[in-house]
A and B are shown apart, each in its own frame.
Chain A
């Protein structure tokens, strides 16, 4: 009896002892003791190696209303900056600004300035973030033209809803416009060290045109009227000139007004451990097709039968790109085949491209268009960047049995010398809500101009 009672006592004591640490005394986290970071910005400092900017969500209604001034009144976030030696010691130092410990678990984007990205230390900074367990590997990475701090401050305008959700929406734009890649810290870190594919990182910027238009007064409005009159007289705007030439817009250069001043557009190309070049939004779209990261986007193309008219298409990935690499010869030969499907959105000329025999003309014209852009991009990456951002190395590596053999082949040196044969297949699957567009009846005299 006594023994049984003792046994029960002992088990009870052991269970009780075991439950005590489960109370979480050591690692308990109270929400109001923490400041939840949404973005981290890294710039080059003047007195210290870095200037760290932290964007965080205000937790209480009181916090939100504390900074109510003009347009920023709707902002849920605040940005604090400080010159520091390293990112994480900087976070410790910046707690002085909030009296709360920073929590990285909800950090959505880490933004590096172009100056930092072009420095040799870039890889070290990415590596330090990757190593720290508090920042999640699925957080996004971005490079910004100008200062990261400015980007973080401009981004506040966007965040009149839940910041984390807003960032997710921002980054998932690429699923339907493909103007920039979606790259996480995990992807960036691992591809920086990869011998098979080099990393690209989305480029962001604060659009000065939009920023200026926000502060423009009546004087600005007059300028716009002048511009309008110039346009009427047939003079082209600088941005317009660019668009008709080659659509070569880069981040921060989009000729727009209104909306958020910050924009994510195009991508930064990295070779080794630092940024070496930049791709426009259009080039990024083509690149994403080869990297099998392209989902869907709208394209405009010249009408093959009426060159002064445009055709608008919604293009989707049909199949994964087929990439084959021959490594036997003196220089590698790469075969790339991209397969796309599309829907017709608009045909200004009203030519009946819906008919099977006419559809072929449109498909071939678009294939040629994409192929021209693709060939130009490959040449740029081979000659100018010498960086295999396409991931052709992933196909090449399959011809090697051991890591030693692959390393000796040195894909990094072989890629710029490679002969690349490209092929694009495009099929129009649907023609929108119309199966035939009857000719418009123009005003007498206008029909001649159209010809």
Chain B
């Protein structure tokens, strides 16, 4: 097999990848556990989560600035040595692979609940994974370029959907303003920052950027745009339902879109959500799969990613289908994957940065 040609991407492409992979889970994820903690004040915890997300990003950018032109796996090897670098990369690989598996299963369950009630879950999961595998076959450069194109379509579409919800909003639903108290708000804000876990892709793909300042630009653009979208979305959801029922919905976005009623004609807009949800999922799952494969290739020094595609599909399919039912995905898998994501998002860059500073490690030219 021939060796893979290394692609180069710009900041706009990476920002689009980042935005789509951060906001896509928003369209089908369940937030029952988080809203149980915060109630009417969930939107405030989203602001706190954003601040934590920025902090995580800063730690990662500091690390990347110390090792310009290198990806996070190469940095691990330099800072921790080959053995511990391998372990750190393995943890990263596990994070990506479990996140993708849970994401694709959640997508499948939501689709099955609201649209395709007869289609077996495994068919939906398999379909998404096959699509993602085709995108991965084409490489991260193609993925990034199509993300920019789709980003221009999907992000405004999401803003349109949110704008259509304005007549349903009720300010009183934001009260009591602190929900279940400030302690819960801070805790939830920290745990909700898992949403920005995708910033780790910046580290994984750091070596494919055309220039180092693009990394910073892509990271800030991605986090700011997705942060704004996430904030508006959660604020609107909070304003639509009171704290008494805000924890109940299986899929927030489906509830919101089915409640749109702009006159006698402009209603039943579920189909409008299908586009961003399906396309976004393909992009988001592909990014996760590409990221996981890149980490794996670095761990075992495999040159060609394409040979890993088929095993990756089977591995992800098996992982996604382990959960016996949707409540298990929401209350067990999601909980652990989010915790793992937070730990990796803050601990890995911070620990690596501290170790690099302590051991006076910098990029060897």
Residues of A at the B interface (CB closer than 8 Å) are 3, 10-11, 14-15, 17-18, 21-22, 26-27, 133, 136-138, 165, 168, 172, 184, 186, 189-190, 193-196, 391, 394-395, 397-398, 400-406
- Residues of B near A26 (CB, < 8 A) are 116, 118-120, 123
Q: CB distance B241 to A403 under 8 Å?
A: no
Main secondary structure of the interface of B (DSSP, over half): loop
Docked Cα-Cα span, A247 to B178, in Å, equals: 46
Q: CB distance A190 to B134 under 8 Å?
A: no
- Residues of A near B255 (CB, < 8 A) are 137
- Residues of B near A400 (CB, < 8 A) are 175-176
Please, could you name 28 A-B residue pairs with CB atoms under 8 Å apart, sorted by A? A3-B1, A11-B134, A14-B134, A14-B137, A15-B134, A18-B130, A21-B127, A26-B116, A27-B118, A133-B113, A137-B255, A137-B258, A137-B259, A186-B259, A190-B242, A190-B245, A194-B244, A195-B242, A391-B172, A397-B176, A402-B180, A403-B39, A403-B176, A403-B179, A403-B180, A403-B243, A404-B181, A406-B176
Task: Determine if B117 is an interface residue (Cβ-Cβ < 8 Å).
Answer: yes
> CB-CB contacts of B92-114 with A at 8 A, as 1s and 0s?
00000000000000000000011
Docked Cα-Cα span, A139 to B26, in Å, equals: 26
Task: Determine if B359 is an interface residue (Cβ-Cβ < 8 Å).
Answer: no
Q: CB distance B268 to A397 under 8 Å?
A: no
Interface residues of B in 127-175 (CB under 8 A from A): 127, 130-131, 133-134, 137, 170, 172, 175
Q: CB distance A21 to B123 under 8 Å?
A: yes
- Residues of B near A398 (CB, < 8 A) are 172, 175, 177
Task: Determine if B24 is an interface residue (Cβ-Cβ < 8 Å).
Answer: no
Q: CB distance A14 to B119 under 8 Å?
A: no
Docked Cα-Cα span, A397 to B170, in Å, equals: 13
Extra contacts, 11 of them, besides A11-B134, A394-B170, A402-B180 (Cβ < 8 A), are: A14-B130, A14-B133, A26-B118, A26-B123, A27-B119, A137-B258, A168-B264, A189-B245, A194-B244, A402-B179, A403-B176
Docked Cα-Cα span, A168 to B40, in Å, equals: 33
Main secondary structure of the interface of A (DSSP, over half): helix
Docked Cα-Cα span, A172 to B175, in Å, equals: 31
- Residues of A near B170 (CB, < 8 A) are 394
Residues of B at the A interface (CB closer than 8 Å) are 1-2, 39-40, 113-120, 123, 127, 130-131, 133-134, 137, 170, 172, 175-181, 241-245, 255, 258-259, 261, 264, 267-268
- Residues of B near A137 (CB, < 8 A) are 255, 258-259
Docked Cα-Cα span, A18 to B125, in Å, equals: 11
- Residues of A near B264 (CB, < 8 A) are 165, 168, 172
* Nearest CB of B to A391, in Å: 8
- Residues of B near A138 (CB, < 8 A) are 258-259, 261, 267-268
Q: CB distance A194 to B181 under 8 Å?
A: no
Docked Cα-Cα span, A195 to B119, in Å, equals: 40
Q: CB distance A405 to B118 under 8 Å?
A: no
- Residues of A near B133 (CB, < 8 A) are 14
Docked Cα-Cα span, A137 to B268, in Å, equals: 10
Docked Cα-Cα span, A203 to B137, in Å, equals: 61
A26-B119, A137-B258, A405-B176 known; A195 vs B244 contact (CB < 8 Å): yes
Closest A residue to B241 using CB positions: A190
Q: CB distance B178 to A27 under 8 Å?
A: no
A401-B177, A405-B176 known; A17 vs B130 contact (CB < 8 Å): yes
Q: Which 6 A-B pairs have the closest CB atoms?
A: A394-B172, A26-B119, A27-B116, A397-B175, A193-B244, A26-B118
* Nearest CB of B to A40, in Å: 18
Q: CB distance A18 to B178 under 8 Å?
A: no
Docked Cα-Cα span, A402 to B39, in Å, equals: 9
- Residues of A near B243 (CB, < 8 A) are 403
Docked Cα-Cα span, A194 to B242, in Å, equals: 7
Docked Cα-Cα span, A406 to B123, in Å, equals: 47
A26-B120, A400-B175, A401-B176 known; A136 vs B258 contact (CB < 8 Å): yes
Docked Cα-Cα span, A14 to B128, in Å, equals: 12
Closest B residue to A187 using CB positions: B259
Q: CB distance A3 to B2 under 8 Å?
A: yes
Docked Cα-Cα span, A22 to B116, in Å, equals: 11
Say which residue of A22, A165, A395 sits within 8 Å of B172 (CB atoms). Answer: A395
A3-B2, A26-B118, A400-B175 known; A18 vs B258 contact (CB < 8 Å): no
- Residues of B near A193 (CB, < 8 A) are 242, 244-245
- Residues of A near B268 (CB, < 8 A) are 136, 138
- Residues of B near A27 (CB, < 8 A) are 115-119
* Nearest CB of A to B237, in Å: 13
- Residues of B near A172 (CB, < 8 A) are 264
Most chain B CB within a 10 A radius of its CB, from A3, A186, A406: A186
Docked Cα-Cα span, A18 to B179, in Å, equals: 46
* Nearest CB of B to A126, in Å: 12
* Nearest CB of B to A445, in Å: 54
* Nearest CB of A to B167, in Å: 12
Q: CB distance A196 to B242 under 8 Å?
A: yes
- Residues of A near B176 (CB, < 8 A) are 397, 400-403, 405-406
* Nearest CB of B to A415, in Å: 15
Docked Cα-Cα span, A397 to B176, in Å, equals: 6
Most chain B CB within a 10 A radius of its CB, from A172, A189, A406: A406
- Residues of B near A397 (CB, < 8 A) are 172, 175-176
Closest B residue to A405 using CB positions: B176
* Nearest CB of B to A252, in Å: 27
- Residues of A near B180 (CB, < 8 A) are 402-404
Closest B residue to A189 using CB positions: B245
A14-B134, A137-B258, A394-B172 known; A402 vs B181 contact (CB < 8 Å): yes
* Nearest CB of B to A323, in Å: 10
Closest B residue to A105 using CB positions: B268
- Residues of A near B245 (CB, < 8 A) are 189-190, 193-194
Docked Cα-Cα span, A403 to B175, in Å, equals: 8
- Residues of B near A10 (CB, < 8 A) are 137
- Residues of A near B130 (CB, < 8 A) are 14, 17-18
Closest B residue to A15 using CB positions: B134
- Residues of B near A14 (CB, < 8 A) are 130, 133-134, 137
* Nearest CB of A to B112, in Å: 9
Most chain B CB within a 10 A radius of its CB, from A165, A395, A397: A397
* Nearest CB of A to B283, in Å: 15
Q: CB distance A401 to B178 under 8 Å?
A: yes
- Residues of B near A406 (CB, < 8 A) are 175-176
- Residues of B near A21 (CB, < 8 A) are 119, 123, 127
A18-B131, A27-B119 known; A196 vs B172 contact (CB < 8 Å): yes
Docked Cα-Cα span, A398 to B178, in Å, equals: 11
Most chain A CB within a 10 A radius of its CB, from B131, B181, B244: B244
